[in-house]
Amino acid sequence: MAVRKLKPSTPGQRHKVIGTFSEITASAPEKSLVYGARKTGGRNHVGKMTMRYIGGGHKQKYRVIDFKRNKDGVPAVVKTIEYDPNRSARIALLFYADGEKRYILAPNGLQVGQTVVSGADVAPEVGNALPMANMPLGTLIHNIELRPGQGASLVRSAGVFAQLAGREDKYAIVKLPSGELRKVLAACKATVGVVGNSDHALEKSGKAGRSRWLGRRPHNRGVSMNPVDHPMGGGEGRQSGGHPRSRKGLLAKGYKTRTPKKQSNKLIIERRKK
């Protein structure tokens, strides 16, 4: 995938950098794997705003993605590579040999017509899903489970990957995109390869309206508010606002917010780089 920079024909186009969509092969999603997603606008069930800066946005349909890859031993052919408005990565539509259809995240190098399969004894090739216990060390992976059978929760954004760094007892040692080195049960599945659409990080919206299309309302700083609205508000002129903190007074930028007795602390070998 590549990006294209537009000519500055209008102020909004001047800094706009968007993807080419050259790898997309279908314009409409598979109907059986789609349902309408309702927007909350940041409001809860009684209409009270519980999340700020959310609202509007284009109507979207949710594509059901198979993060579990639990259809072991059944080969599937990649039918299309599609755009998904709910995530930064592209998705691939699989047609399984028994007739079932599923979406997966499309890794780099996955082509239409290619065959992928999941299971304990499959080859560690791009798009295949298998337990980390059966992968060669050094393999680049994504879509990693934290509990066997739970479904992937790590390494799912465009262009990211983790690396299988080693094994120790029943654990696999994984180097995450953040630089963190942690243990994950080796029985957990992961998909081989790097998540596609790696040029997503180079894109620039070019104008505020594109943020509104994504459902993001304007975000204003705490320093610009009044003391009644934010701990950093108020003051004559442009005051610094004191130590950075959230609207509820929780310190930010340096203050550790991770629970000291969190269960997974013992699984982290090396913390992420700051």
Per domain, the residue ranges of the chain are 3-201
135: confidence class by pLDDT, cuts 50, 70, 90: very high
Pairing of strands 91-96, 101-105: antiparallel
Q: 219-228: long-range contacts (C-beta < 8 A, 24 or more apart)?
A: 219/52, 219/53, 222/247
- Residue 240 pLDDT more than 80? no
Residue percentage of the chain with pLDDT more than 70: 100
- Residue 137 pLDDT more than 80? yes
- Residue 30 pLDDT more than 70? yes
- Residue 1 pLDDT more than 70? no
- Residue 209 pLDDT more than 70? yes
Candidates 1.10.579.10, 2.40.50.100, 2.40.50.140, 2.60.40.10; CATH matching 3-201: 2.40.50.140
Q: Residue range 250-274: average pLDDT?
A: 90
243: confidence class by pLDDT, cuts 50, 70, 90: confident
User: What is the overall mean pLDDT for the chain?
Assistant: 94
Q: Residue range 216-238: average pLDDT?
A: 91
pLDDT of residue 29: 96
d(CA 69, CA 158): 19
Q: Residue range 156-183: average pLDDT?
A: 96
pLDDT, tens digit, 9 for 90 and up, residues 186-207: 999 999 999 999 999 999 999 9
Query: Whose structure tokens read 């309206």?
Result: 209
pLDDT of residue 94: 97
Q: Which two tokens stand for residue 209?
A: 């309206």
How many C-beta neighbours within 10 Å does residue 48 have? 8
Helix or strand (DSSP H, E) at 11: helix 11-14
pLDDT of residue 119: 96
Q: Which two tokens stand for residue 246?
A: 């959230």
242: confidence class by pLDDT, cuts 50, 70, 90: confident
pLDDT of residue 65: 98
pLDDT of residue 241: 79
- Residue 15 pLDDT more than 80? yes
**Closest-CA residue to 30 (of 102, 97, 105, 136):** 102
238: confidence class by pLDDT, cuts 50, 70, 90: confident
State the sign of the Cα–Cα–Cα–Cα dihedral 174, 161, 155, 64. Answer: negative
Q: Which two tokens stand for residue 56?
A: 């509007």
State the sign of the Cα–Cα–Cα–Cα dihedral 119, 95, 77, 65. Answer: negative
Q: Which two tokens stand for residue 41?
A: 């606008």
156 near 34, Cβ under 8 Å? no
Residues, the chain, total? Answer: 274
85: confidence class by pLDDT, cuts 50, 70, 90: very high
- Residue 255 pLDDT more than 90? no
